[in-house]
Structure 1
Amino acid sequence: MAKLVDLTKKPYNLNADQIKWVEDTIAGMTDEEKVGQLFVNLFFPGSDEYSGNEFTNQEIVEKFHIGGARYKGQDSVQVQGLLNELQSASKIPLLVAANCDSGGDGATNDGTYIASGAQSEASGDTSVAYNAGYVSGREATALGVNTNFDPCVDILMNWRNTIVNTRAYGTNADSVIKYTNAYLEGLTQSEIIQCIKHWPGDGTEERDQHLVLGVNELSVDEWEDSFGRVYRNHIENGVEMIMAGHIALPEYQKALNPSLKDEDIMPATLAPELIQDLLKTKLDFNGMVITDAAHMLGMTSAMRREDYVPLSIAAGCDMFLFFNDIEEDTMFMMNGYKNGVITEERMTDALRRILGLKAKLNLHLKQAEGTLLKDASELEVIGCEEHLEMRADAADKGITLVKDTQNNLPISPETHRRIRLYYLEGEKAMNVATEDNALEFFVEELERRGYEVTINDGHTRVKGKTLEYRENVDFALTISNVAGYGAENNYRIKWKTAMSNEVPWYVWEVPTVFVSLNFTTHLHDATMVKTFVNAYHNNEETIRQVIDKLEGKSEFKGTPNENVWANKWQAKL
């Protein structure tokens, strides 16, 4: 029998009046309202259309009775306006979510980046993770966000994994617990629902659940001693929401249900043994479970959408993240409810968990009092001086000199004036923004300090005469601004053409430094580089501090984990 929620206990701790609102609201719902409450819609500020369905934002809220909202992009004024519009139109207040894993930049384009999980770990200082959570909460709340789909509590066991390369807070359970506890302590200084992900755990393999079924291959004992410890820690601490990934855990699933065959193994989002039996019963999680995005192949490749939309709720997930087609998915969910795939007990339990979080935030009271909507004055916190100081502190503590075996540092305009700059980019990702002006920042800052910068054309194989190169170039600076996920299972350096002249053939000709602005494991593709820096982000503050540290004006304080060597002995040379 599935374990039902107890709204009087952690993480809800609701009083009698709050529970009464939950129960009375459910009792007064139509079937259409019940089904709608299970969905989170993705909105696009500045647009009244969603994925080709010509419904206005107001119509989506009023006609389909959605329970939650997330949104993409735009600046703080537009985002706040959208969220006020949605809450104004909604009969039942919405859970409004953002993906703030490293600061307010996850909530709005003009938000303040503080530090990723990788940067927090490299800093060795829990205050960096705390500040990332603190700024995430403050800036998101000012917009009208009340739920944060972060932090990632995944463990980066496999260096090839690029999904959580920068989002994971460590390579072992102890590090992840240490820094995610600090992040959540900072986050909860604001009134915001915390959500950890990706259950039952990413980071053990290299593939991307956006593109294929994710698989956590650990044995029962291995999982219990790693991801199990992480999730038990956060459940004990009162985490309110857990996002289920489209990730299977075959060894544990077969232990829980010995009758399962390989073809029966489903991602956690469709696996009752992982949601109902392991998470909600064995680990005693009394909060709400939400699916990861339902357009991801880890879910869509499991069965027909008509089937998995209601089966996700039947399996124990309480909310469904994102429509494909809003009318069709609503019909699929309604059919599943009417034909008994979603039982009445399961529907009521899911609704109690959803509305319980809204009651915990007293959204219904704020709606009645007229205090639910946000005022433009609250946006003053975004990018404020306090937050920028935290960003600077995180950059100083996190930027990491992985190696300098050739003693190429420090540099100066007097000794390294003529710089050849090699700039490597990846795809412009949907969720991980690559700033186009990072190159511009580097060039402007270097020239301001007295360097002469020539940007290399990597679209040619021509290297020219090495003696002329040595005569004309004092310093080679290779910048990797490769970011993204969802288009490849593993992100690596891609040179602009075959045998491009940007490939570091020049490491013995002139002093050479490689700086990565995102992924931490590029030494795998550039083992010949003798001086390597992980900077973790491409904002102006980080770029200024990278150059300060290259010049010896500030010491490198970050510490790399073992994954940076990519299991290659030559990477350490």
Structure 2
Amino acid sequence: MVQLRQAPFNLDEKGIEWVEETLNKMTVEEKIGQLFCTIGMSDEKEALDYLTKEVQIGGIMYRPANGKSLIETHSYLQESSKIPLLIAANLESGGQGAVTEGTQFGMPMGVAATDHAEMGYRLGKVSCSEGAAVGINWSFAPIVDIDINFRNPITNLRTFGSSVEKVLEMSKGYLKAADEEGLAVSIKHFPGDGVDERDQHLVTSVNDLSATEWRETYGRVYQELINEGAKTVMIGHIAQPNVVKSFKPEASHKEQYTPGSLSPILLNDLLRDELGFNGLTVTDATLMVGFTSFMSRKDAVPAAIANGCDMFLFNKSVAEDYSYMLAGYEAGVITAKRLDEAVTRILGTKASLNLHEKQAAGTLVPTFEELQSVLANEEHQAWTKECAESAVTLVKDTQNLLPLDVTKHKRLYLNVIERSIVAESDFAKQVKEALEKEGFEVTLRNRLGNIDAAKMMAGDASEEMMASLADMQKPTSDFTEQFDAALIVGNLGTSSNEVTIRLAFDALGNDIPWFVNDIPTAFVSFGNPYHLLDVPMVSTFVNSYTASPAVLEATVDRLLGRAKFTGVSPVDPFCGREELSY
């Protein structure tokens, strides 16, 4: 049974009355509609009317857009909806997760690297206040995964690190700020990402910690944040076979490796009964292969709700998924009791955010003028600067290169490694200009692309290949005598659907740091904190965590010795390998 008087709803009699009266007036079709949180693909009124008046969705999430258009779209959606909508955004690293003009506060790992508990609160305050200013009431954050496996392609910078204590410290601050701003959080991705090296976007990934280890780590995190009042939990397409077996020793292989979003044992025995979570559960995006490959979609759509999730996130086709859900109800897969339970939690969450009262008052979405005052918040800018200055971490400088000195290292070779190989990206230009402003003569590497050995051997060598080959065949002195120091910058954050994020160099040309014994060389990563694995020959390494103007400025200040490095790495940047520390 849903306990509306208890946490995380904490409803008074008036709130409970609204939930119960609303539920009792709803048709089965309207209840089915409430189960869906769709992705916003259009701001055309005809498309919005379909969602709000025909399907009668329970929630929606748009990707970041400009504030004016979001306010207009969110206002129309709320005005068109009989029941107020949950409107979500990925507010993981700042207000820019909702609105393009928002503040990029800092990636969670950078926030944790400050080693200041207050920064978790500030991350939540900036993210949620700016999200609320465009009508967001549901934050798909904080991420409470633990970055245990440095090869994991998803967690990485999006986490607060590998320490349970640090994850809890930062997350609790975020929750406090979200509550102050009237947003529900969604702690994610239960039962916990960061153990596997695979991506749940591409496969059902596995958290294979022992049941005891899980309860001491992820279990502790979820338990404490549930106790702290987290309103919702996002359920990942992640299996936890050992916890399943702790409840059901005879569990079949299929039961053990069922993704959390479809596992009645993880959803009910673990999350509801053992951890005592009374609030709303929502699947992670159901377009992910970790969900779609486990069973036929026509079966998986109703099974997610029947097995314990309360809301269904995103659709291949809204109409088709709705038909699957309704068919599942009519076939008894979703019982009337289970449907009412899920919808009660959805309505209870809305009531706990006072959405029904805001709807009556016409205040669900602020005005554009209110948004502008929030985005011009000087305090947010000051906090962002302080976070950046505290986060930058000196991993090692065993050659005593730092600080860089414009009199000793004036002729600087700069190589910026990013996903796309272009002569000068916007970020590369920003780095170059920041160094030139300090008086360095900067030569920015024109990255040419990797040599295709097969084509080269077949005589099909492009102009780029020939240029890289020319690098390799020139005398060492032709390169080393041009420069006083080298700075390699990595801007390669992890991303969904990319299984590995590794440094990719142009074979053996001057792109790769073969020259570390001839030119003093430093590496700064504004993305993945584990790049030292691929450049163990570099003796000076800095992690900056976030590729933003504030962090770039703070990094340059520290490279030049104008400020001390105070960041404390939330993970092991040496990847457990002793040789990387030298």
TM range (shorter): over 0.9
Q: How many Å separate the matches in 1 of 2:160 and 2:304?
A: 29
User: Which residue number corresponds to residue 296 of structure 1?
Assistant: 288
1:48 aligns with 2:39: no
Equivalent position SS for 1:472: coil
Q: How does 1:294-373 map to 2 (within 5 A)?
A: 294-373=286-365
Equivalent position SS for 2:413: strand
Equivalent position SS for 1:169: coil
Q: Assess if the C-alpha contact under 8 Å between 1:162 and 1:519 holds in 2.
A: no
- 2:545 aligned residue (524, 536, 541): 536
The CA deviation string for residues 445-467 of structure 1, in whole angstroms up to 9 with x for no partner, is 11222122211123224143322
Letter in 2 for 1:407: N
Q: How does 1:52-131 map to 2 (within 5 A)?
A: 56-131=47-122
Letter in 1 for 2:479: Y
Q: How many Å separate the matches in 2 of 1:215 and 1:482?
A: 25
Q: How many Å separate the matches in 1 of 2:415 and 2:167?
A: 34
Q: How many Å separate the matches in 2 of 1:455 and 1:499?
A: 18
Letter in 2 for 1:295: L
1:517 aligns with 2:523: no
In structure 2, the CA distance between the partners of 1:436 and 1:357, relative to structure 1 (3 Å rule), is farther
User: Which residue number corresponds to residue 508 of structure 2?
Assistant: 499
Extract unaligned runs of 5+ from structure 1.
Answer: 50-54, 429-434
Equivalent position SS for 1:102: coil
1:545 aligns with 2:538: no
User: Which residue number corresponds to residue 226 of structure 2?
Assistant: 235
Q: How many Å separate the matches in 1 of 2:271 and 2:291?
A: 19
Shift of 1:518: 1.2
Q: How does 1:150-161 map to 2 (within 5 A)?
A: 150-161=141-152
- 2:134 aligned residue (143, 168, 175): 143
User: Which residue number corresponds to residue 563 of structure 2?
Assistant: 554
Q: How many Å separate the matches in 1 of 2:277 and 2:234?
A: 12
1:15 aligns with 2:15: no
Letter in 1 for 2:430: F
Letter in 2 for 1:179: M
Question: Which stretch shifts more, 194-203 or 380-389?
Answer: 380-389
Letter in 2 for 1:480: G
Letter in 2 for 1:456: R
User: Moved runs in structure 1, 4+ residues, more than 6 A?
Assistant: none
1:452 aligns with 2:441: yes
In structure 2, the CA distance between the partners of 1:315 and 1:383, relative to structure 1 (3 Å rule), is farther
In structure 2, the CA distance between the partners of 1:561 and 1:365, relative to structure 1 (3 Å rule), is closer
Q: How many Å separate the matches in 1 of 2:554 and 2:165?
A: 29
Q: How many residues are treated as equivalent by the alignment?
A: 557
Q: How many Å separate the matches in 1 of 2:10 and 2:343?
A: 16
In structure 2, the CA distance between the partners of 1:383 and 1:531, relative to structure 1 (3 Å rule), is farther
Q: Assess if the C-alpha contact under 8 Å between 1:199 and 1:244 holds in 2.
A: yes
Question: Which stretch shifts more, 131-140 or 462-471?
Answer: 462-471
Equivalent position SS for 1:12: coil
Shift of 1:475: 1.8
Q: How many Å separate the matches in 2 of 1:557 and 1:126?
A: 15
1:419 aligns with 2:416: no
The CA deviation string for residues 511-559 of structure 1, in whole angstroms up to 9 with x for no partner, is 1111111111001111111111111111111111111110001111101
Q: How many Å separate the matches in 1 of 2:239 and 2:550?
A: 40
Q: Assess if the C-alpha contact under 8 Å between 2:187 and 2:234 holds in 1.
A: yes
User: Which residue number corresponds to residue 410 of structure 1?
Assistant: 403
TM score, norm. by length of structure 2: 0.93
1:469 aligns with 2:479: yes
Letter in 2 for 1:412: D
Shift of 1:164: 0.9
Shift of 1:108: 1.5
Letter in 2 for 1:96: I
Shift of 1:44: 3.9
Shift of 1:247: 0.5
- 1:282 aligned residue (261, 265, 274): 274
Q: Percent identity?
A: 39
User: Which residue number corresponds to residue 431 of structure 1?
Assistant: none
- 1:490 aligned residue (479, 482, 500): 500
Q: Assess if the C-alpha contact under 8 Å between 1:58 and 1:85 holds in 2.
A: no
Q: CA RMSD in A?
A: 1.7
Shift of 1:407: 1.1
Shift of 1:142: 0.4
Shift of 1:263: 2.6
In structure 2, the CA distance between the partners of 1:187 and 1:369, relative to structure 1 (3 Å rule), is closer
Shift of 1:241: 0.2
Shift of 1:172: 2.5
User: Which residue number corresponds to residue 571 of structure 1?
Assistant: 580
Q: How many Å separate the matches in 1 of 2:383 and 2:336?
A: 49
Letter in 2 for 1:511: P
Question: Which stretch shifts more, 348-357 or 503-512?
Answer: 503-512
Q: Assess if the C-alpha contact under 8 Å between 2:185 and 2:231 holds in 1.
A: yes
Equivalent position SS for 1:143: coil
The CA deviation string for residues 325-369 of structure 1, in whole angstroms up to 9 with x for no partner, is 111111001101111111111100000000001111121121112
